[in-house]
Chains A and B, each alone.
Chain A
Amino acid sequence: AQSVTQLGSHVSVSEGALVLLRCNYSSSVPPYLFWYVQYPNQGLQLLLKYTSAATLVKGINGFEAEFKKSETSFHLTKPSAHMSDAAEYFCAVSAPASNTGKLIFGQGTTLQVKP
Chain B
Amino acid sequence: DSGVTQTPKHLITATGQRVTLRCSPRSGDLSVYWYQQSLDQGLQFLIQYYNGEERAKGNILERFSAQQFPDLHSELNLSSLELGDSALYFCASSPRGADNYGYTFGSGTRLTVV
Binding site for B on A (CB under 8 A): 32, 34, 36, 41-46, 49, 51, 90, 94, 96, 98-108
Contact = CB atoms under 8 A, between A and B. Distances in A.
Interface string B85-112: 0000010101011111111111110000
A41 B37 CA distance: 12
B68 interface: no
A43 B55 contact: no
B28 to A, nearest CB: 15
Given A46-B102, A96-B100, A104 B45 contact: yes
B58 interface: yes
Summarize A's interface: helix, strand, loop or mixed: loop
B66 to A, nearest CB: 14
Contact of B99 (A46, A101, A106): A101
Contacts, number: 68
A99 B97 contact: yes
Q: Say which size band chain B's interface belongs to.
A: 20 to 34
Given A32-B100, A43-B2, A94-B100, A105 B42 contact: yes
A102 B34 CA distance: 10
Contacts of B114: none
B24 interface: no
Contacts of A44: 90, 92, 103, 105
B45 A102 contact: yes
Contacts of B92: 44
